[in-house]
Amino acid sequence: MGKKWGHYKAGGRSQPVKCIYCGRLVPRIKATVVRRGFRVDSKIPGIDRRRVFLPSHKAYACISCAKHRGLL
């Protein structure tokens, strides 16, 4: 048996995902998750953040782009 790394599951390949910054295809287990969407600023009067639904989606960034942007 080979080495059992902490974040790898035993089995086959992981699906490649596209980096949102550079477009590189990286395995999903090596990519960093980035939440993309809108944010409600608390400085706007009359808006409660808990009652407003703003859509967001999950995106992925490669390791080099995540390091460059300070996401890691």
pLDDT in tens, 5-51: 566 556 678 899 999 999 999 999 899 999 888 776 666 777 777 77
Q: What is the predicted pLDDT for the residue at 41?
A: 67
Q: Which of 36, 31, 37 is nearest to 60 (CA)?
A: 31
* pTM (2 d.p.): 0.66
Q: How confident is the model at residue 54 (pLDDT cuts 50, 70, 90)?
A: confident
Backbone angles phi, psi at 56, to 5 degrees: -140, 155
Note the residue count of the chain: 72
Q: What is the reported pLDDT for 8?
A: 59
pLDDT at 52: 77
Predicted local distance difference test score (pLDDT) of residue 23: 96
| Sequence ranges of the domains in the chain | 16-40+47-69
